Structure 1
Amino acid sequence: MSNFSKTFSSTLGKKLVMSLTGLFLCVFLIVHLIGNLQIFKADDGLAFNQYAHFMTHFPPIKIISYLLYLSIIVHSVWALILTRRNKAARPIGYAIKPKDGSIWSSRNMGILGTIIFIFIVVHMSNFWFKYHQGYTPFVEYQTNLKTGETTTRVLDASEFKEYVTYVDNGIQITQSEDLYKEVYTAFQQWWLVLFYVIAMAALAFHLIHGFQSAFQTLGWNHRKYFPIAKFVGLWGFGILIPLAYVAMPLYVFLTNL
């Protein structure tokens, strides 16, 4: 076995892989959030559907998406292996749990990760799968370039061939799969919104510990800069980003009561 293989088959190697894939997923969370915020635009979903088309058809983004799927799988599998190794190393629990100063999230990363993984499966089956398999409805937008006014028309499956956008006599016409409508329909179900709230709470706790832990594992824990990583991990990834994500299903649900 080569030194490279030995390194990445060891516990430390797996932690390194988890740190790198975890930080990559953190970057994805930011990019995905920026796109998802288009749902708050009062344009009947035009900007959101344009974003969805771009993310699924722009070649560089498609390549990155495959890296994303691989990162999710590797991060999850490695986490499971490390958890099993830790339990095997200490098959009998402590009679009295040591007060080592660890926070709740650090002691329950396995539970939090499981909730997040279930969320990813549900989320992708609700939106990613339907969008890629053509199960979403279709829509046409007509935007007057002088006034900025946009009107919409639902398209039948027979009318829609592919995503197009063009200008005709001062009117910009865009025909698209209507993922926006699919999102609005899904988030009118209270139980799904509640599940998203729980999942985002789990994500918050997972990121609070995981973000700064990744920096420690990678050796980026200089006393001058590590407090910045802790601050970003807590307030950025632990609070702001999960709140922004959960705001979307809550907004859709509450505006349709």
Structure 2
Amino acid sequence: MNPILQSTLSRKNLMALTGLFLCFFLVIHLLGNMQLLLPEDKAVVSFNNYSTLLSGNIFIKIVSYVLYFSLIAHAVDALFITLRNRKSVVKYAYDDRKKASKWYSRNMGILGTILLVFLVIHFKDFWYSYKFGSIPYDTNGNKDLYQIVVNAFHTGWYVVFYILSLLALGYHLLHGFKSAARSLGLYHPRYAAYVQKFGIVYSYAITIGFIIIPLYIYLKQFIQ
């Protein structure tokens, strides 16, 4: 096999594997964040206990390192493959693909860039603040990440930015899930329709689930 082609296929496989791991992580992350929708007295205790567990458990720390690697590898591989495709693609082939594909499939680079900017801000505002910032403690002696999140989601422009980023995530997932299945050879004609339907349901569930949280917290301050 051509070394360049083999290199591209290896990168696509790595991007698919890291992408699927990130899909799994999004489910766990969403389930944890859903605690923010509990009544405030319960949400403070539950969410802060959850945050403390994540920061102190050795197994979770190992998973975190896998997460960091997956994010970096996924972004680097995506950039590498995009640049290589732009150099090698023939114009008429691109035009044919453009007519047959969805707009979000043709603009994964733009969606990925939006997500990268979002992740940098997201990590800075929450992960970095929790790890290295001066955060007050709740009545149980845990760092009060709940209040940090609530304060962030009480700001209108931040909520709008958050929602727009999540919409970009949703479109990214719509293409990425099917693409990952194909790269790993899981997109057999017999099961293609089921894989596609599952990918659509998953993408909508993750996107809507994450959007509900900042909207709920933002609107809640006006009805209390």
Using the size of structure 1 for normalisation, the TM-score is: 0.80
Are 2:58 and 1:59 aligned? yes
Q: Map 1:99-114 onto structure 2 (within 5 A).
A: 100-114=99-113
Between the aligned partners of 2:7 and 2:25, the Cα distance in structure 1 is 27
- 4+ aligned runs moved over 4 Å, structure 1: 6-9
After superposition, give the CA deviation of every residue in 1:26-77 in whole Å (9 maximum; x if it has no partner). Answer: 0000011110001111115110111111111110011010110010000001
SS at match of 1:136: coil
- Segments of 5+ residues of structure 2 without an aligned counterpart are none
* Structure number having the greater strand percentage: 1
Q: Which residue number in structure 2 is paired with residue 162 of structure 1?
A: none
Equivalent residue, structure 2, for 1:85: 84
Asked whether the equivalents of residues 137 and 182 of structure 1 are also in contact (C-alpha less than 8 Å), the reply is no
Q: Residue 175 of structure 1 aligns to a residue in which SS?
A: coil
Identify the residue that residue 214 of structure 1 maps to in structure 2: 180
Q: 1:224 deviation in Å?
A: 2.5
Once the two structures are superposed, the pairs formed by residues 117-128 of structure 1 within 5 Å of their partners are 117-128=116-127
Residue 12 (structure 1) aligns with = 9
- Work out whether residues 8 and 17 of structure 1, in 8 Å CA contact, stay in contact via their aligned partners in 2: no
For 2:170, the equivalent position in structure 1 comes to: 204
SS in 1 for 2:141: strand
Are the equivalent residues in 1 in contact too, given 2:82–2:109 (CA < 8 A)? yes
Distance 1:16 1:205 in 2: 20
Secondary structure of residue in 2 paired with 1:212:
helix
Higher normalized contact order (CA 8 Å, seq sep 6+, divided by chain length): 2
Counterparts of 1:32 and 1:224 in 2: how far apart (Å)?
Answer: 32
1:218-243 Cα shifts (integer Å, max 9, x gaps): 1111223222211111111x211111
**Which one has a larger percent helix, Structure 1 or Structure 2?**
2
- Please tell me the root mean square deviation across aligned C-alpha atoms, in Å: 2.1
Residues 1-257 of structure 1 aligned to structure 2 (within 5 Å): 10-42=7-39, 43-90=42-89, 97-98=95-96, 100-140=99-139, 174-236=140-202, 238-257=203-222
Query: SS of 2:138's equivalent?
Result: strand
Alpha-carbon distance in structure 2 between the residues aligned to 1:136 and 1:196: 22
For residues 174 and 64 of structure 2, the distance between their equivalents in structure 1, rounded to whole angstroms, comes to 24
Change (3 A) 1:8 1:254: farther
C-alpha distance after superposition, 1:68-100 (max 9, x if no partner): 00100000011001111111124x856x93354
1:215–1:221 Cα contact (<8 Å) kept:
yes
Q: Structure 1 vs Structure 2: percent identity of aligned residues?
A: 41
